């Protein structure tokens, strides 16, 4: 096969790049060895959020007695997983249809470079593809800890945890990052006794303490037990289950009984099987491919996007990178201006962040103005019985320009989009405060946080 643009990997970076290349009039081949949509649609973002939504609905219904709602709730796990699979199938099928509609040739198999203009493909009907430009979008995979091989039956990766044969009575989670925290919530709601072991001294260490404390406390209310400052060492069979051993910073050993252990300590790029050495690309010490903002690797005509290109390892960032690479390869480069990438954690409650924290702003030399609006002062949050959390905005005090925001609470992943847009448009606190928001809505908390930063708060103390 010959093509203008070759894309290796059909995750959020790859399939978006392929579709955009097709829209730009190029002949495009998209090679995927597993499932269209990549890890995100098939084994990550989508199934995890489906399980989070369903188990949250069950938990809220079962605990709404104070609202006058009495319900006995049970979860049919096989039916729940069937429903989740249906959501995944609908979306992955949509990706295939969109690719075909935009003229993308879908090629099954595993692609690896032979030289600068050719890849070999194994496992499908096409043996070789010659190309003008190539975009590597092979994504990432869970990091495997020593002593916890994913091939061992009791040891789960995040992928295993999203399609369990049965719900374990006792689940030990190694890692209190976003994956570990989200899945801890799911399994606690499904009835597992969940213990989280984290080598660091807090959950979600990438976020500020007052943000993570709310999430950690809510998880504890669900029954999640946290053990911080302990590094997992290994596991052995014990009785009808397993025993996981850990070691604390002072050298003390601890043991925890479980039926399954979920290892969720991060992700690593999939770059070792693509034949990068054949084209002169050498990943860094962590396995990532160095690129510029257009995805260029330093080898003419070969690009890398998404998780293989390094942080942020986020699906929406990968899609934007795919679009930029496709345009550049087609000779129609885009200038997207400021690179503003929001992030979200779908815990209970959610976390949404974008831009700088107050500490980062001051370290960068800004004289920051900070405004905070608690959900407990929001009429909409009260009527939804979701009052934990807050919206905080960080601005440059002399100019009022918005620099960053942190949201923890219901719909944080939605609210952060307005704040990301405001930062990208170089909006000020005045712009946010003077934009009329619908009442009663959670979005009003953004307006009120901006007012608080200016010392003009109406519904909360300045």
Q: Please indicate, yes or no, if residue 343 is contained in any of the structural domains.
A: no
Is the model's pLDDT at 190 over the cut of 60?
yes
What's the pLDDT tens digit per position in 208-218? 999 999 999 99
**What are the backbone angles phi and psi of residue 285, rounded to the nearest 5°?**
-60, -25
- Give one DSSP letter per residue of 178-190, joined into a string: HHHHHHHHHHHHH
Residue 337 — very low, low, confident or very high, per pLDDT cuts 50/70/90?
Answer: confident
Q: Judge if the upstream peptide bond of residue 401 is cis by omega within 30 degrees of 0.
A: no
pLDDT, tens digit, 9 for 90 and up, residues 258-307: 999 999 999 999 999 999 999 999 999 999 999 999 999 999 999 999 99
**In a shared domain, residues 131 and 21:** yes
Which residue's entry shows tokens 């049919």? 76
- Residue 194 belongs to domain spanning: 155-265
What per-residue confidence (pLDDT) applies to 19? 98
b/e 394-431 (16+ beta carbons within 10 angstroms → b): bbbeeebbbbbbbbbbbbbbebbebbbebbbeebbbee
User: 240 and 282: one domain?
Assistant: no
Q: Are 272 and 261 contained in the same domain?
A: no
Active site annotation includes 439: yes
Output the pTM of the full model.
0.94
Model confidence at 339, pLDDT cuts 50, 70, 90, reads confident
Domain boundary among 211, 245, 265: 265
Domain termination site, one of 244, 265, 286: 265
For residue 150, is it within any domain?
A: no
Residue 339 lies in a domain: no
Segment 160-188 mean pLDDT: 97
244 vs 263: CA distance, rounded Å: 12
pLDDT score of 6: 98
Is residue 36, in this structure, part of any structural domain at all? yes
> What mean pLDDT comes out for the span 63-73?
94
Contact call for residues 322 and 11 (beta carbons, < 8 A): no
CATH number at residue 278: 3.50.50.60
CA distance 40 to 38: 5
What's phi and psi for 148, nearest 5 deg? -135, 70
By C-alpha distance, which of 83, 268, 97, 99 is closest to 163? Answer: 83
pLDDT of residue 461: 61
Same domain, 254 and 277: no
Within this chain, do residues 91 and 132 fall inside the same structural domain, yes or no? yes
Instruction: Please tell me whether residues 61 and 125 are part of one structural domain.
Output: yes
Phi, psi of 37 (to 5 degrees): 105, -15
What is the CB neighbour count within 10 angstroms for residue 365?
7
What is the average pLDDT across 36-52? 95
Percent of the chain whose predicted confidence (pLDDT) is above 70: 99
Task: Over range 436-459, report the average pLDDT.
Answer: 93
What is the biggest distance separating any 2 CA atoms in the chain, rounded to whole angstroms? 68
How large is the average pLDDT for residues 397-415? Answer: 97
User: CB neighbours of 293 closer than 8 A, spacing ≥ 6?
Assistant: 324, 339
What tokens were used for 227?
């053990």
Residue 147, domain member (yes or no): no
pLDDT tens by residue, 122-167: 998 999 999 999 999 999 999 999 999 999 999 999 999 999 999 9
Same domain, residue pair 134 and 164: no
State the Cα–Cα distance between residues 67 and 63, nearest whole angstrom: 9
User: What local confidence, expressed as pLDDT, does residue 445 receive?
Assistant: 97
Measured N-to-C along each axis, helices 14-23 and 77-101 cross at an angle, to the nearest 10 degrees, of 30
200 and 86 fall within a common domain: no
Give the domain-ending residue among 265, 296, 319: 265
Report the domain count for the chain: 3
**Strand order in 170-174's β-sheet?**
155-156, 260-263, 170-174, 193-198, 225-228
Q: What are the helix (H) ranges across 121-247?
A: 158-161, 178-190, 209-221
Residue 335 lies in a domain: no
Give the tokens for residue 50: 């489906």
**How would you class 50 by CB atoms within 10 Å of its CB: exposed for 0-12, middle for 13-18, buried for 19 or more?**
buried
C-alpha to C-alpha distance for 376 and 185, rounded to whole angstroms: 23
Measure the CA–CA gap between 75 and 245, rounded to whole angstroms.
32
Report the share of the chain in percent with pLDDT over 90.
Answer: 96
Same domain, yes or no: 274 and 136: yes
Say if residue 414's pLDDT is above 80. yes
Tokens representing 298?
């330093």
Instruction: Kindly state whether residues 88 and 214 are assigned to the same domain.
Output: no
Sign of CA dihedral 76, 81, 87, 90: negative
Same domain for 93 and 180, yes or no, is: no
CA torsion sign for 192, 158, 10, 32 is: negative
Please indicate, yes or no, whether residues 133 and 260 belong to a single structural domain of this protein: no
In-domain check, residue 274:
yes
- C-alpha distances (whole Å) from 348 to each of 182, 213, 252, 427, 441 are 8, 11, 32, 30, 19
106 domain residue, yes or no: yes
Average pLDDT, the chain: 96
Question: Which of 43, 437, 439, 459 is flagged as catalytic?
Answer: 439
């Amino acid at each position: 096969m010959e093509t203008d643009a070759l894309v290796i990997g059909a995750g959020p970076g790859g399939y978006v790049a392929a579709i955009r290349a097709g829209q730009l009039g190029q002949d495009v081949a998209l090679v995927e060895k597993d499932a269209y949509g990549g890890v995100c649609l098939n084994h990550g973002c989508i199934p995890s959020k489906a399980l989070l939504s369903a188990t949250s609905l069950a938990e809220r219904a079962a605990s709404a007695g104070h609202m006058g709602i009495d319900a006995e709730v049970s979860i049919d796990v096989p039916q729940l997983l069937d429903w989740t699979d249906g959501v995944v199938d609908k979306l992955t099928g949509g990706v295939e249809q969109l690719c075909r509609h935009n003229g993308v040739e879908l090629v099954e198999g595993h692609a690896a470079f032979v030289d600068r203009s050719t890849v070999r493909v194994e496992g499908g009907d096409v043996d070789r593809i010659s190309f003008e430009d190539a975009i590597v979008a092979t994504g990432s995979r869970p990091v495997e800890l020593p002593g916890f091989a994913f091939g061992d039956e009791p040891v789960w990766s995040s992928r295993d945890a999203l399609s369990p044969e049965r719900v374990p009575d006792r689940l030990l989670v190694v890692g209190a990052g976003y994956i570990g925290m989200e899945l801890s919530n799911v399994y606690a709601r499904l009835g597992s006794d969940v213990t989280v072991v984290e080598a660091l001294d807090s959950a979600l260490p990438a976020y500020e303490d007052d943000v993570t404390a709310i999430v950690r406390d809510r998880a504890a209310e669900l029954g999640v037990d946290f053990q911080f400052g302990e590094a997992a060492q290994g596991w052995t069979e014990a009785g009808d289950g397993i025993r996981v051993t850990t070691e604390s910073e002072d050298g003390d050993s601890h043991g925890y009984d479980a039926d399954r252990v979920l290892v969720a300590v991060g992700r690593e790029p999939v770059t070792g099987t693509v034949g990068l050495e054949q084209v002169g690309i050498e990943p860094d010490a962590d396995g990532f491919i160095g690129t510029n903002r257009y995805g260029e690797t330093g080898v003419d005509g070969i690009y890398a996007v998404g998780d293989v290109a390094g942080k942020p390892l986020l699906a929406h960032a990968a899609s934007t990178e795919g679009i930029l690479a496709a345009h550049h390869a087609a000779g129609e480069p885009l200038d997207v201006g400021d690179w503003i990438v929001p992030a979200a954690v779908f815990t209970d409650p959610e976390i949404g962040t974008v831009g700088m924290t107050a500490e980062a702003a001051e370290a960068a030399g800004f004289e920051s103005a900070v405004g905070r609006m608690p959900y407990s002062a929001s009429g909409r949050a009260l009527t939804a019985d979701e009052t934990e959390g807050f919206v905080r905005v960080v601005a440059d005090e002399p100019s009022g320009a918005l620099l960053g925001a942190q949201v923890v609470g219901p719909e944080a992943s939605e609210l952060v989009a307005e704040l990301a847009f405001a930062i990208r448009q170089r909006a000020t606190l005045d712009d946010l405060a003077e934009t009329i928001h619908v009442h009663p809505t959670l979005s009003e908390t953004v307006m009120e946080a901006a007012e608080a930063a200016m010392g003009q708060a109406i519904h909360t103390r300045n």
